[in-house]
Structure 1
Amino acid sequence: MNPPTEMSSGLAGLPDAVRWYEGMALLPHHFQQATARAEMLAAALLRARDPLHWGLLRLALEQDGTEVTVTALEAVMPDGLPVVAGPGQRLSIDLARHQPDAEGIWRISLAVAAQTLERRPEPPRYLEHGSVRVADQNPGGADEVISVLRPNLLLVCGHGQGYADAELLPLAQYRRASGVPVDTGYIGPWLRIGTELVLHGRIHALGRKLRSAYAQMADDPVDASRPVARRALLPVLGALVLELDSMCQPGTSHPQVLYGVLARLLGALAAGTGAAVLPTLPRFDYRDLAAGFTPCSTRSTGCMRSWRPTSTGRPSAAWASRSSRSPPPCWAAPRRMWWRS
């Protein structure tokens, strides 16, 4: 198994430019070289600007015993290749034919061989996918039927047959329970946080707690016994609550951006407790989103408990009345992950 490595920009591996000149004998290889350079250059420039430009956009899984099937998929591979799978392209893997890793987990990924012109990749990066009719866009032109290729999508466990990280898109993880593989609830690299993810519901729940805490602090009488740090936290907390609300609108936020909001929130809450040392942030792992988001939100909740007003032990009547009249936005209600059984 290849160890995880940092993904390079890919600029060093770009194919050379084709030397075009009048009277040259054109071969399909000239156009393959030019096309590969254009595709890889665009992906390399995007990766240099935004390393986390790849991930899942849609995923639906079905499990039948030890067999896991992808019934719907839209994603961008780490090397920038867009991939789509649906009813016409069955992707499945039988976990009974694969051994779990040292932690007892089957880690399922989508694999596509890297693009290269130096050799024929095995398995191939593309497969022939019949023919399509192409309409000539010139006035009076005739339509032509051409052969087309589509990415060769495979499901693998671990790194499969030696695939590199840039060739793998993590999808799901399963652990054996009572002799049957059971979904661990793993959340892979998604390009945006939508209501189909359990993670969205957790973050929204944290936002509601923060709104309640803000309202309670705003109604709390200002006196000398109230810590200065806590009074100073109020405007910062209000701004972060609204920012978190806007980021939680479904399908609009990249996980890394949302994680940055949670990090600022945790820092503000920790400062409000008068802590001499700020908490250490969990590592943001794009390939395992819950590993970073869960501890960050848990620590934020813990900070809130430590600075709740203690004068009465409960919210004021004015806050309770206002809170009951303020339902959450209609888009914010967390929903069950439709692609999980």
Structure 2
Amino acid sequence: MNSFDKVIWSEGMFLRPQHFQQQERYLERQLVARSQQADHYFWGFSELQLDTEGFAQGRVGLTRAKGIFKDGTSFVVDESTPSVSLAIPQAVSNELVGVAIPTRQASRQQVAFEEGEDLLARYAVTEQEIVDTTDTTLGAVNLQLGRLQIRLLLASQVDANYEFLPIARIKGRDSKNALVIDTAYIPPTLNFIEVKNNLLSFLVTAVDLLNEQVKRLSRRLSSSAIQNGSSSLTQMMMLSVINRYHAYFHHLLSSNYHHPEGFFCYLQMLLNEMAVFLSEQRAMEQFAHYDHDDLQASFAPLMGQLNAALNIVLDDPYEVIEFVDKGHGLRVAQLTDLNLIKQAEFILGVKADMPMDSLRKHFPAQAKFGPVERIRDLVHLQLPGVNVQSVEQIPPQLPYHSGYVYFAFQQSGDLWQQFARSGVLALHLAGEFPGLEMEFWAVRNKNR
């Protein structure tokens, strides 16, 4: 049974090694408890570099590593550390491999004085010359120090005697019998800016996507179509959201430390805010779960959703189409996108210096609409053109214009089909309509 109680020091007590060992256990437990309170996901790697040259020989090794085990033990693997590698059996496939140390148990031998003497001892004894830094003239003395016994194990080899942190997933062997490592796997990470695994690639991708969407929305907001009354408010709000997260993610790229949980939270917040513009539910249908031990499963769905959301080009809810005055009562409007014929409802707003009831009654009788190549015949032969009908309610996407009378086009018949092919609609207007103003819109309707 492990005991982490504090040693009671008193005058005249007979000191034994157990006193210092127990005090050390107590202080270590206090440090771990504080770390756990400060950051729930405190374990993982802040630096990790595999020895990729060993893959061809079927070995996994560490060049450099720095991190913290789940029991709070910190570790470092560098050029001063004995080689840390593992020969992988031929039959191993789809299995995790990682660094392991023996667990801390008060009732078990914690120190191995000879190499290989006790594989479950946490520390191997080494001798080093240590200088007295209070008075360096006294020279150095040899001290016995304990070096943490770090080894690599397969997940299937790990039991309750070991603390374990996976570093990679082995997929199997290739045609040359070299190890194949799962490049999508992400080990538990404390600082993905330094570890430089897929999380850093995700961050770079997010910044690039946000940057492209900022440019795209900025161009749309400065275009003439927007200035003439399209959905500038919606797109301005979306640009505000994207600008906010773009600045934050760009800051992460320039920093030297960031924990993946923070990145995960901000990604999910961004997607939830984007859902206001892109989802009928106006929110994410299901929130993702953060799993520090399975970062690939945590982040991959979010990155897929982010890529989809930021590659959507928002269509304006309507297009403003200008009737150009050609003289002699003839006006011509040209569509720049023939797809609007099938996707949109066409609304004409008319205003004149006359009673609205009179305008509503007389305008359809004196206005003749048709494809530009037929308008002359329609006028001279007094044939009916494309039918328009007065409407009391306009589509909610359109802005309100005081004093306007609205008409909807009947989008059927031979004349309309000719207009659909050419994209040019002509209007011949007889009679007098003093102070005439017209607005012509193609209102996108996703139900069409």
| Fold match by TM threshold 0.5 | yes
Is 1:270 matched up with 2:269? Answer: no
In structure 1, the partner of 2:108 is 119
Provide Cα deviations, 1:133-187, integer angstroms capped at 9, x if missing partner. 23152587664321100111111111524147x8111111111144543010111
Q: 1:105 to 1:138 in 2, by over 3 A?
A: same
- Give, in whole Å, the separation in 1 of the partners of 2:227 and 2:288: 35
Partner SS state of residue 131, structure 1: strand
The answer as to whether partners of 2:47 and 2:191 remain within 8 angstroms in 1 is no
In structure 2, the partner of 1:78 is 70
In structure 1, the partner of 2:257 is 252
The answer as to whether partners of 1:193 and 1:251 remain within 8 angstroms in 2 is no
In structure 2, the partner of 1:181 is 179
- Give, in whole Å, the separation in 1 of the partners of 2:201 and 2:99: 26
Q: 1:235 to 1:145 in 2, by over 3 A?
A: same
Counting only pairs closer than 5 Å after superposition, residues 1-341 of structure 1 correspond to structure 2 as 15-62=4-51, 63-87=55-79, 88-96=81-89, 100=92, 104-120=93-109, 123-137=120-134, 143-163=140-160, 167-178=163-174, 180-185=178-183, 186-194=185-193, 196-220=196-220, 221=226, 225-226=230-231, 229-276=234-281, 277-309=283-315
Partner SS state of residue 64, structure 1: helix
Q: 1:167 to 1:131 in 2, by over 3 A?
A: same
Provide Cα deviations, 1:259-282, integer angstroms capped at 9, x if missing partner. 111111111211121431514233
- Give, in whole Å, the separation in 2 of the partners of 1:14 and 1:48: 21
Partner SS state of residue 149, structure 1: strand
The answer as to whether partners of 1:132 and 1:148 remain within 8 angstroms in 2 is no
- Give, in whole Å, the separation in 2 of the partners of 1:200 and 1:249: 12
Partner SS state of residue 309, structure 2: helix
Partner SS state of residue 219, structure 1: helix
TM score, norm. by length of structure 2: 0.60
* 1:50 CA displacement: 0.9
TM score, norm. by length of structure 1: 0.78
* 1:85 CA displacement: 1.8
Paired AA for residue 246 in structure 2: V
Paired AA for residue 18 in structure 1: V
Paired AA for residue 239 in structure 2: L
- Give, in whole Å, the separation in 1 of the partners of 2:190 and 2:241: 28
Partner SS state of residue 169, structure 1: strand
Provide Cα deviations, 1:44-77, integer angstroms capped at 9, x if missing partner. 1111221222221222222233211112222222
The answer as to whether partners of 1:95 and 1:106 remain within 8 angstroms in 2 is no
Where relative contact order (Cα < 8 A, 6+ residues apart) is larger, the structure is: 1
Q: 1:177 to 1:308 in 2, by over 3 A?
A: farther
Partner SS state of residue 306, structure 1: coil
* 1:230 CA displacement: 4.1
The answer as to whether partners of 1:112 and 1:168 remain within 8 angstroms in 2 is yes
Paired AA for residue 190 in structure 1: T
Partner SS state of residue 294, structure 1: helix
* 1:250 CA displacement: 4.9
- Give, in whole Å, the separation in 1 of the partners of 2:233 and 2:101: 56
Q: 1:136 to 1:225 in 2, by over 3 A?
A: closer
Q: 1:212 to 1:307 in 2, by over 3 A?
A: same
- Give, in whole Å, the separation in 2 of the partners of 1:309 and 1:208: 22
Identity of aligned residues (%): 20
Structure number with greater Rg is 2
Q: Which runs of 5+ in 2 are unaligned?
A: 111-118, 221-225, 320-335, 338-448
- Give, in whole Å, the separation in 2 of the partners of 1:260 and 1:227: 29
- Give, in whole Å, the separation in 2 of the partners of 1:13 and 1:244: 44
Q: 1:116 to 1:138 in 2, by over 3 A?
A: farther
Provide Cα deviations, 1:2-59, integer angstroms capped at 9, x if missing partner. xxxxxxxxxx966111121111111111111111211121111111221222221222
User: Bigger shift: 275-284 or 184-193?
Assistant: 275-284
- Give, in whole Å, the separation in 2 of the partners of 1:269 and 1:176: 40
Partner SS state of residue 125, structure 2: strand
Paired AA for residue 45 in structure 1: R
